[in-house]
């Protein structure tokens, strides 16, 4: 037994058809159509019902799959675009952190435990900056689709790690390439 729903995705402006098996709590989007200014809601609902009926007859139909993939791509792009400032800021802080640690390694005679402690102190200071960056992001529209502090934490942390890796690797390569 399955349940079918039709929902409006306010984020993308699509009307989606959703199927949920009764034994499972998972939802599966099986149909999607974009709401446009020229299309009435009743026409869009009829189109979704036709797509659901087509999906019931042929679950792996290419035409329906292309429409659903278009909706997913659009949703991904809107969420990514809304969170780009957060990710870029974390990338920049991570790159600065990597550069500071790389410069401290090159310019000082710190090695071993003292360098580890210095890097931990720099990282702890940067952690406060990253947390402020994540908390300062406005929660509007698409950024709400990336819900929860864990999702923002993952975006910030991943971008900072990439930035720190590229920043420190770039500086260390610059300083030691000629050696």
Whole-angstrom Cα distance, residue 74 to residue 67?
11
Mark 64-73 as b/e (b = at least 16 C-beta within 10 Å). Answer: beebbeebee
* One domain for residues 38 and 105: no
Residue 53: its H or E element: helix 41-57
Indicate if 84 and 172 belong to the same structural domain: yes
Q: Please report whether residue 19 resides in a domain.
A: yes
Domain containing 105 equals: 78-176
Residue 66 in any domain: the answer is no
In a domain, 71, yes or no: no
Distance of CA 56 to the CA centre of its chain: 32
48 and 98 fall within a common domain: no
| pLDDT band at residue 34 under the 50/70/90 scheme | confident
Residue 25 and residue 16 in contact, taking contact as beta carbons nearer than 8 Å? no
Q: Is residue 70 part of a domain?
A: no
| % of the chain beyond a pLDDT of 70 | 68
Span 108-138, pLDDT tens digits: 766 677 766 766 676 666 666 666 666 665 5
**Residues paired with 81 in a beta bridge:** none
Please tell me the total count of domains within the chain. Answer: 2
What local confidence, expressed as pLDDT, does residue 103 receive?
75
Radius of gyration of the chain (CA): 24
Distance from C-alpha of 29 to C-alpha of 38, rounded to nearest angstrom: 24
25 and 12 in contact (C-beta within 8 Å)? no
pLDDT tier, 151 (very low <50, low <70, confident <90, very high otherwise):
low
Same domain? 112 vs 142: yes
- Whether residue 83 is found in the same domain as residue 161: yes
Instruction: Indicate whether 68 belongs to any domain.
Output: no
**Is 80 exceeded by the pLDDT of residue 49?**
yes
**84 and 160 together in one domain:** yes
Confidence band for 24, pLDDT divided at 50, 70 and 90? confident
- Same domain? For 87 and 166 the reply is yes
Task: Identify whether residues 96 and 134 lie together within a single domain.
Answer: yes
Q: Do 46 and 122 fall within a single domain?
A: no
Within-domain flag for 65: no
Sort 83 into a burial class: Cβ within 10 Å, 0-12 / 13-18 / 19+: buried
User: Are 54 and 86 contained in the same domain?
Assistant: no
Whether 140 is in a domain gets the answer: yes
One domain for residues 85 and 168: yes
Higher pLDDT, 43 or 147: 43
Name the nearest CA neighbour of 9 among 50, 52, 48, 53: 48
Residue 42: C-alpha distances to residues 32, 47, 167 (Å): 14, 9, 54
Q: Are residues 19 and 107 in the same domain?
A: no
Q: For residue 172, is it within any domain?
A: yes
pLDDT digits (tens, 9 = 90+) for 51-72: 888 888 988 888 888 989 999 9
Q: pTM for the complete prediction?
A: 0.60
If pLDDT is split at 50, 70 and 90, which confidence band does 147 have? low
């Amino acid at each position: 037994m399955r349940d079918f729903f039709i929902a409006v995705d306010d984020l993308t402006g699509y009307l989606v058809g959703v199927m949920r098996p009764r034994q499972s709590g998972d939802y599966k989007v099986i149909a999607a159509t974009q709401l446009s200014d020229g299309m009435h809601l009743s026409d869009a609902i009829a189109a979704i019902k036709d797509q659901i009926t087509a999906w019931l007859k042929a679950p792996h139909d290419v035409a329906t799959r292309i429409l659903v993939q278009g909706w997913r791509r659009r949703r991904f792009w809107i969420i990514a675009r809304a969170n780009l400032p957060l990710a870029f800021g974390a990338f920049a802080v991570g790159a600065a952190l990597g550069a500071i640690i790389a410069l401290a390694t090159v310019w000082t005679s710190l090695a071993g435990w003292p360098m580890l402690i210095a890097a931990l102190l720099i990282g702890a200071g940067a952690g406060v900056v990253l947390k402020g960056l994540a908390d300062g992001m406005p929660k509007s529209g698409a950024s709400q689709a990336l819900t929860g502090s864990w999702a923002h934490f993952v975006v910030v942390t991943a971008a900072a790690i990439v930035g720190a890796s590229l920043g420190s690797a770039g500086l260390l390569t610059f300083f030691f390439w000629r050696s």
